[in-house]
Amino acid sequence: MKICHLEGVIVSDKYQGKGIASEMVRRAVGDSDVLAFHTQSKKMLNLGRKISEEDVSLTMEVADVIHTRNQQGLLDIRRYGGSCLYGDTTRFAESAIEEGDWQKGDARIFAGFIRR
């Protein structure tokens, strides 16, 4: 099983919603079977679900492979050193994951089989 471990996608606000992130990720996955990542963002979860079929069992299976440090279910607790990855937490709050405590660095673990 070939895994594309995505470390991050950042698109400037003025270019968001134009499919740029989707295209970047589609190119990055290449011939991989699985897309996997950690995130604090609902937008990133949605992007992952657009490109792959989220699979909880697979997520649990690949969590160690993608360097999950403190796994509790589908969360990596305090992954980002006890703080939010995003600087402007007030602005980010509407896009933040609902599970865990993203303000303290918790991140959602995601893995899915890539749609072809």
* pTM across the whole model: 0.93
Q: For the segment 11-50, what is each residue's pLDDT rounded down to a tens digit? A: 888 988 899 999 999 999 999 999 999 999 999 999 999 9
CB of 48 within 8 A of CB of 22?
A: no
Closest CA to 4 of 38, 36, 47: 36
Asked if 97 and 108 count as a contact pair (C-beta separation under 8 A), the reply is yes
Q: How confident is the model over 56-106, as pLDDT tens digits?
A: 999 999 999 999 999 999 999 999 999 999 888 999 999 999 999 999 999
